[in-house]
Amino acid sequence: MLNSSWLSLCREHLAPTYSQYPVAFVRGYGARLWDADGREYVDFASGIATVSLGHCHPKLVEALKEQAESLWHVSNLYLIPWEIELAKLLNESSFSSKVFFCNSGAEANEAAVKFARLWGKKHKNGAYKVITALDSFHGRTLAMVSATGQEKVKKGFEPLPGGFVHVPFNDLSAVREALDDDVVAVMVEPIQGEGGIVEPASGYLEGLRRICDENGILLIFDEVQTGVGRCGELFAYMLYGVEPDILTTAKGLGSGFPIGAALLNDKVASAVEPGSHASTFGGNPLATRVGYEVLRVILEDGVLDNVRASSDAIFSFFRENAFSVVEEVRGKGLLIGVKLRVDNREFVQKALEKGLLLVPAGGNVVRLLPPLNIDDETLSRGLSLFKEVAASMG
């Protein structure tokens, strides 16, 4: 069927929760996609920073096929070897000592808040409130809608669960002012993604760590978008030398296969007991086998070096080309935001028409989120298409 046929079926059968582009992708390889009409695209969207190793990476396909022929699901009533292997690799590669697996970033953030509240109940006289940032995005479950600092995602869902206090990002004094005896944690994205690729000011994350330590509360980093190599290190916190107590990750951990995780240090893990939290599909053999292979490839196959080199090439491209429609370029690694002087959604639409996938964000920003292992030729092709769009709108 063609794109138009899929669009008709979509409108007939799916709940209208998305404003979708009228393109149905049916095949992908690396950083390229093909739609139902046979047209080719350069993918600088990566499923919104999710397809970390590109489409149909041979090692991931092999791992998934092998596991699909062995075992899909048994539940967490029993030991799951690949879940244990992936947790071990995550712990050996980060600050954490224990891992909880789930299916998405929102679920990982829900787990983080629940674990923080468990810790607060045991060690902080029942403290339960979490300070989060304005313009943040933490997911679409009801609690994470409440945690999110963007008003647009809250509309229609009131009354929302309580327990969250919002303060401006990059404002340490506002965090201090929001503190009271009921606060158990501060939760932030090290770099705000949906909010427009907003980087932390110098000393901000270090200041949050200091505030949390001085007040005996937890620091939670939402690395659902920044993590798993996206920013040039395995996790963004490594760029700043600031360790959280809890870190959440998802998106790129499965390179498109659904998986999420909450990473805990010993302090937090000590408050968790059997039965305190669970996820039916979390840690299942299929997801964790793929996640293990994703992490191994990123750590062992030079992917992080490629992220840094590709990032340098993109920033050089913008330094060497003066676009009247571009106001600012910012970000780390291959989490790059281009703030525009023209409408960002119109820019994304025109890019799609030329065969380039981009992602809009807050603050009139478009995100460049290519696969972490993108090759030089495809990267160059994508930047050339960006140049064509910018010229057409300048």
Closest to 101 (Cα-Cα) out of 92, 119, 88, 118: 88
Tokens for 10?
């979509």
Listing DSSP states for 52-103 in one string gives: TT-BT-HHHHHHHHHHHTT-----TTS--HHHHHHHHHHHHTSS-SEEEEES
Rg of the chain, C-alpha, whole Å: 21
Whether the CB-CB separation of 246 and 221 falls below 8 Å is answered with yes
Which residue, 383, 239, 240, 232, is CA-closest to 306?
232
Catalytic residue among 95, 100, 115, 137: 137
Q: Is 383 left (phi over 0), alpha (psi -120 to 50) or beta?
A: alpha
- Pairing outcome for strands 183-188 and 218-222: parallel
Query: Taking a C-beta distance cutoff of 8 angstroms, is the pair 278, 111 a contact?
Result: no
DSSP 200: P
Query: Catalytic: 101?
Result: no
**Chain centroid, CA 71 distance in Å:** 28
d(CA 41, CA 62) in angstroms, rounded, equals 25
Which 8-state DSSP code applies to residue 62? H
> Rounded distance, CA 223 to CA 235, Å?
7
* 251 assigned to active site: yes
How many whole angstroms separate alpha carbon 43 and alpha carbon 29? 10
Q: From the candidates 44, 135, 245, 251, which is the catalytic residue?
A: 251
Phi, psi of 27 (to 5 degrees): -155, 145
Q: 361 with 290: CB under 8 angstroms?
A: no
Instruction: Please confirm, yes or no, whether 281 is among the known catalytic residues.
Output: no
What is d(CA 293, CA 63) in angstroms, rounded to the nearest whole number?
A: 7
Residue with tokens 């010229």: 391
Single out the catalytic residue among 222, 245, 257, 332: 222
Of 270, 224, 237, the residue nearest 103 (C-alpha): 224
Q: What CA–CA distance (Å, rounded) separates 260 from 282?
A: 8
Positions marked active-site? 137, 222, 251
